[in-house]
């Protein structure tokens, strides 16, 4: 299996370019990030070219972080800002060769929120298609993100079907899915045609994927049997020095059997 370092949580004590270099040194096959916008694209591109790594994904802006916002796409009345966030993400992704954009929904609920979200996702898919970029939507669990609009894979699958865009996929984060729904193996099997990226972390503490409720050796075996060959995102909290948390990497990369 191949793995991608999520630089939103790993090596956060370093600049994004230096975190990319650290991921290469640690043996990761790719990288992904959360909100890279303060870093000039030229610096990110230079680090990617130097290391030979690909940037798999980035997130749209959360909005007013000081006010507690965590995305804009499902917030009625915020369409102009939500679409501006999509546009900014596409510009950054196109410049850095990033393949996926996670459009963050935000804290909202109800029919109006759903209609707003679908309209903004349709906009994102149309705008991203010209650049060969895939739009991802990700359910977040109610413990870490209470009140978030998108919380289950069932809800996400319904929205993907409703929008009907070829470049709209599910971000399947095993950590969030286990906390909200469980039955991760069967959900991976059932949803595989709609999945665009997969992430892992221990449950319930979101630490390194070498302990907790989920046996990732088993999960990776399921993915192997399903033919998944893209890098899997390591989006976990290292609880200190990132390098000291990487004992799992060689263990999970070892051949299954």
Q: Could you list the active site residues?
A: 138, 235
Three-state DSSP state, 20: helix
Beta bridge pairs of residue 137:
170
Note whether 99 and 134 are within 8 A (CB). Answer: yes
Say how many C-beta atoms besides its own lie within 10 A of residue 23's C-beta. 26
H or E stretch including 171?
strand 168-173
Encode 52-86: b = buried (16+ Cβ within 10 Å), e = exposed.
ebbbbbbbbbbbeeeeebbbbbbbeebeebbbebb
| Contact partners, residue 83, CB within 8 Å, separation at least 6 | 120, 123, 124
């Amino acid at each position: 299996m191949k793995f991608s370092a999520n630089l939103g949580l790993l090596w956060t004590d370093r600049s994004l370019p230096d975190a990319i270099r650290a991921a290469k040194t640690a043996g990761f096959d790719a990288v992904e990030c959360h909100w890279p916008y303060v870093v000039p694209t030229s610096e990110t591109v230079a680090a990617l070219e130097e290391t030979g790594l690909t940037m798999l994904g980035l997130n749209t802006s959360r909005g007013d972080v000081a006010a507690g916002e965590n995305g804009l796409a499902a917030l009625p009345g915020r369409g102009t800002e939500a679409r501006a966030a999509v546009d900014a993400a596409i510009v950054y992704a196109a410049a850095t060769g990033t393949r996926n954009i996670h459009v963050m929904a935000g804290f909202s609920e109800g029919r109006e929120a759903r209609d707003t979200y679908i309209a903004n996702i349709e906009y994102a898919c149309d705008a991203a298609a010209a650049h060969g970029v895939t739009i991802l939507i990700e359910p977040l669990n109610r413990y870490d993100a209470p009140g978030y609009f998108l919380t289950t894979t069932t809800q996400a699958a319904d929205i993907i079907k409703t929008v009907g865009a070829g470049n709209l996929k599910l971000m399947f984060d095993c950590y969030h899915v286990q906390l909200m729904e469980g039955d991760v193996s069967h959900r991976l099997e059932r949803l595989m045609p709609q999945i665009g990226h997969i992430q892992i972390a221990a449950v319930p503490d979101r630490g390194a994927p070498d302990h907790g409720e989920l046996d990732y050796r088993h999960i990776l075996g399921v993915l192997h049997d399903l033919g998944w060959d893209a890098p899997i995102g390591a989006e976990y909290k290292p609880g200190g020095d990132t390098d000291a948390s990487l004992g799992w990497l060689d263990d999970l990369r070892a051949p299954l059997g």
